[in-house]
Amino acid sequence: MAGLRAKPSSAQDGAVEDGAAEQGPAVQPAPQPGPSGVAGQATQLAPRDDFDRDVWCLLGLPVDAASVDRAVAEIDTAVRTGRKLSFVTPNVNWLVRVLKDGAARREVLNADLSFIDGAPLVVMARMLGVPAPSRVAGADIFEALRRRPGFGGRRTRVFFFGGRDGAGAAAVEALDKEQGGVEAVGSLNPGFGDVETMSAPEIIAEINAAGADFVVVALGAAKGQAWIDRNKDRLDAPVIAHLGAVVDFTAGQVARAPEMVKKLGLEWLWRIKEEPALWRRYVGDGAALLTIIARRLAPQLLALRHRQSRSAPAPAQADIRRGASRTAIVLSGTFTTANLAAARKAFRIAAEHGRDVVLEFSAVSEFDRSFLGLVLMLEKHVARSGRTLYVDGATARHRAILRANAMNYRSVATAEERIVDTGRAATA
Contact (Cβ atoms closer than 8 angstroms) between residue 185 and residue 271: no
Predicted local confidence at residue 229, as pLDDT? 95
Note whether 52 and 183 are same-domain residues.
Answer: yes
pTM attached to this predicted model:
0.83
Query: Could you give the CA distance from residue 308 to residue 402 in angstroms, rounded to a whole number?
Result: 18
8 Å CB contact between 160 and 216: yes
For residue 93, being part of any structural domain is answered with yes
Cα distances (Å, whole numbers) of residue 252 to 175, 255, 272, 274 = 11, 7, 16, 12
Do 133 and 266 fall within a single domain? yes
d(CA 309, CA 312): 10
- In a domain, residue 154? The reply is yes
Same domain, 219 and 329: no
- The beta strand positions in 43-201, using DSSP E, are 55-58, 61-64, 85-88, 113-114, 156-162, 182-188
Mean pLDDT of the chain: 84
Q: Is residue 381 part of a domain?
A: yes
**E strands of 7-54, at which residues?**
15-17
Type and span of the H or E element at 322: strand 317-322
Are residue 91 and residue 195 in the same domain, yes or no? Answer: yes
From residue 355, alpha-carbon distances to 21, 350, 424 in Å are: 19, 8, 18
- Domain range enclosing 103: 48-279
| 50: nearest Cα among 335, 409, 374, 301 | 374
Contact 317, 342 (CB under 8 A): yes
Domain count, the chain: 2
Which residues in the chain come in under a pLDDT of 50? Answer: 1-44, 414-416, 419-428
Is there a contact between 167 and 251 (Cβ–Cβ < 8 Å)?
yes
Residue 23 lies in a domain: no
Residues 6+ apart with CB under 8 A from 86: 110, 111, 112, 113, 228, 232, 239, 240, 241
Do 67 and 212 lie in a common domain? yes
Tally of CB atoms within 10 A around 16: 19
Residue partners of 394: CB distance under 8 A and separation at least 6: 361, 364, 402
For residues 202 and 125, membership in a common domain is answered with yes
Provide the pLDDT for residue 31: 40
